[in-house]
Amino acid sequence: MNIGVVGLGYVGIVSLACLSKMGFKVTGIDTDQKKVDALKNGCSYIYEPGVDKLIKDGLKKGKIFSSNKINSSINDLDLFLVCVGTPSKADGSHDYSYIENVTKEIAICSKKLKHKKVTVAFRSTFQPGTIDKVILPILDKYKATNVDVVYNPEFLRESTAIDDFFMPSRIVVGTSDGSASKHMNQIYKSFDAKIFLTKFKEAEITKLIDNTWHALKVSFMNEIARISETNEINISKIYDIFVADNILNISKHYLRPGGPFGGSCLPKDLRALESLSKLHKLNNPIIENISLSNANHQEYLVNKILHRTGKNKKILFCGVTFKRNTDDLRESPWLSIANVLKEQNLDFDIYDSYYSSNKTNKEKNTFLGPISENIVSINDVRNSKYDLYINANNSIVDLGLKSTNTVLDLNRLD
């Protein structure tokens, strides 16, 4: 089976790399020529541990190809995995313009397939009803009768995405009638995970529920931590007691007091579920106030930093990507906090595991905005003296600090 991966962002490039390792021939397709060129040169345009090695191995074995057009590849492909972005619109709903463009292009190109069907599996995050209201009408308009549609949500976490791909907690495959998909079966037949076969809507809402729940867990435990800290209660003890119950409290993941949530998934999908709730005029105060709680927590951490700093103190802020071992700045709370520190005219440097190691990459560093001038290398850090080290995304572990160094750890509230 030959597979095309449309969209070479985090989900797309990881899926491509892992599928090539499984032995499939995979073509990476993206309109961004920089991403296509990076793939041709044996690397990923984004950073994710282990992906570059898989890409190099796949190219060497003749398993990976690249293109900036769907049209040039469709004759050779059996399955498309669509992994393009669905960013938030002003009202919190998803922007489906990339999805619409890809669907239209596949529909038009499918006319070349005279005696062959192609499966198009969407991995991008959708609100329920998107396939019925957005995707299928486009396919109908262009009479793309030889296209089978599947919705296959991904559960990849940045910095551990390869492990998450090969060891999923479960697999969800949505089809029009809830039956199995031949091409998806070929991908997942060797996976040791339960496969849920559903109709489109059940599959579409799965990712929104997951990420909204994860966001709720982060916010809930941070609220408990604030109450505990202001009442001189040992939050570490409370945390240990709470997560010891794996029957009712289910899981300790994300239930860790510390930093606000951020990144490309939780905030966006939370807004989408908020939008869906408002669309149906439902009163869901928990969901509607998770973002507010997260913003309040970020403000709380800013005030905590300002309380510990002064005009005569030299500060090192460790980590601005939303998570260590990524280059992702999308909705990073640490980037927002660093920008507040800059607005306060504090004397501070920034060390980040990714950006400090790529200081010479001007294109990457433009993503940082004004604080790019505060980024220093690890050698600069070692040759400087700081009064306070602020641990944001855990980049601080690269520095090998002594116990005598003064550290304010934003990932712990105890």
Query: For 156-197, what is each residue's pLDDT tens digit?
Result: 999 999 999 999 999 999 999 999 999 999 999 999 999 999
Lowest mean pLDDT among 5-19, 134-148, 190-204, 365-379: 365-379
Kindly list the structural domains of the chain, giving each domain's residue range(s) and its CATH number in brackets, ordered by start: 2-199 (3.40.50.720), 208-279 (1.10.1040.10), 309-409 (3.40.50.720)
Under DSSP, the state recorded for 318 is E
The SS3 assignment for 241 reads helix
Write down the pLDDT at residue 362.
Answer: 64
pLDDT, position 208:
92
* Residue that is written with structure tokens 């809402």 in the block: 205
Query: What is the per-residue pLDDT for 364?
Result: 65
Query: Which member of 18, 83, 265, 318 is catalytic?
Result: 265
- C-alpha Rg value of the chain to the nearest Å: 23
How does residue 112 score in pLDDT terms, banded at 50, 70 and 90?
Answer: confident
Q: How far apart are CA 257 and CA 173, in angstroms?
A: 34
Lowest-confidence range among 52-56, 140-144, 282-286, 391-395?
282-286
How is residue 88 annotated by DSSP?
Answer: B
Residue 261: per-residue pLDDT: 87
Q: What is the mean pLDDT of residues 245-261?
A: 73
| Count of C-beta atoms within a 10 Å radius of residue 155 | 17
Given this model, what pLDDT does residue 166 score? 97
How far is residue 8's CA from residue 36's CA, in Å, rounded to a whole number?
8
Residue 347 has pLDDT above 80, yes or no: yes
Alpha helices in 328-413 (DSSP H): 333-343, 362-365, 378-382
Q: What pLDDT, on a 0 to 100 scale, did the predictor assign at position 366?
A: 75
> Where does the pLDDT of residue 310 fall: very low under 50, low under 70, confident under 90, or very high at 90 and above?
confident
Element (H, E) at 4: strand 2-6
pLDDT exceeds cutoff 70 at 265: yes
- Cα–Cα separations (whole angstroms), residue 209 to 113, 153, 385: 37, 12, 46
The token duo for 333 is 């709370």
pLDDT band at 255 (very low <50, low <70, confident <90, very high): low
pLDDT, position 217: 84
Give which of 202, 208, 51, 66 is closest to 125, Cα–Cα: 208
Average pLDDT, the chain: 91
β-partners of residue 5 are 28, 81
- pLDDT tens sequence across 28-86: 999 999 999 999 999 999 999 999 999 999 999 999 999 999 887 777 899 999 999 99
Closest CA to 131 of 181, 82, 182: 82
In the residue annotation, 83 being an active-site residue is answered as: no
Question: What is the structure's pLDDT at 249?
Answer: 67
Helices (runs of H) and strands (runs of E) counted in the chain: 15, 12
Region 236-257: mean pLDDT is: 77
Interval 328-334 mean pLDDT: 92
pLDDT at position 285 over 70: yes
Helix (H) or strand (E) holding 171: strand 171-175
Please state, as a whole number, how many other Cβ atoms lie within 10 Å of the Cβ of residue 307: 9
Task: Report the pLDDT averaged over residues 325-347.
Answer: 93
pLDDT at 257 over 80: no
How confident is the model at residue 23, as a pLDDT? Answer: 97
